[in-house]
Amino acid sequence: MSEPITFDQWTLQKIRYDKSMMNWLEERRYEWLPLAADALSRIVSGYSVLILTDDERDWFGHYVVTSLNRSLKNRPFIPVYELKKIAPYISKLQAKEEIELFFDMLEISYCERYFIWYIGRSSAPYVKLAKSKDDSFLWIMDEDMQNNFTLKSFDELLDIKLLQLYRLFEKSLDGAIFGEFVLE
C-alpha cells in the first residue's frame, strides 16, 4: 500500500496539470500551502467562512459565495457568507471597542466556529477588522506580512490571478473533503 499523498504534492500536481493555472502559482506555492491548509482544515471541521473584500473586489466575494455552493457540485454545501451583507455597517467599525463587540456578536452567532477570508487592499477600511483576528485567511494586497498571501493591486493580471487562486482553493477543498490528500 502506498503512502498517502501530501497537500504539497497534490497542489503541485494540480498546478502543473491544470491548463488554467499559470507558473506563478508554482513559484509561490510555499507561501500558499500553510494558509490554504489552515483554512481547509477549518472548513472540513465545520467552520463558517465569512468573506470580506474591499469595495473593488465585491464582485469576487460574490463569485466565491455563489460558486462554492453551486448545485452542480457533488459535495456538501459549505457555510460561506458575505460579511458585508450580514453586517452592512462594518465599514464604520474602527474603534477597538466596536470591533471587539462585533466579534462578540460573531462568536455568539457562529458558536466561535468561523473565520474571515479577506481579499483586498491594505488601505481599505475593512482590513483592520480582518487583521484583528489571528485566524483570518488573508489575501491583503500591497502588504507583505506574516500569514498573508500577498498580491499586488497594480498587477494587470490581478483578476485572472484571483480566479486562478480561487480555482486552486476550490479544487483543494474538494480534495480535502474527499480525502485525496493528507493535510499536514
pLDDT for res 150: 96
DSSP string, 24-84: HHHHTHHHHHHHHHHHHHHHHTT-EEEEEE-GGGHHHHHHHHHHHT-TT--S----EEEHH
Q: What CATH topology corresponds to 7-177?
A: Rossmann fold (3.40.50)
3-state class of 184 per DSSP? coil
3-state class of 19 per DSSP? coil
pLDDT for res 177: 94
pLDDT for res 119: 98
The answer to whether residues 120 and 141 touch, using CB atoms and an 8 Å cutoff, is yes
Per-10-residue mean pLDDT of the chain, 184 residues long, equals: 83 87 87 96 97 97 94 88 95 90 96 97 92 94 93 95 95 94 84
For the chain, the residue count is 184
CA-based nearest residue to 57, from 8, 123, 11, 134:
123
pLDDT for res 41: 97
pLDDT for res 80: 97
CA-based nearest residue to 36, from 14, 54, 67:
14
pLDDT for res 3: 73
> Where do we find the cell 453586517?
87
pLDDT for res 151: 96
Measured CA to CA, the distance from residue 42 to residue 177 in angstroms comes to 11
| DSSP-H helix ranges across 96-146 | 96-109, 127-131
- Cα separation values, 98 from 90, 107, 116, Å: 10, 14, 17
Domain boundaries, the chain: 7-177
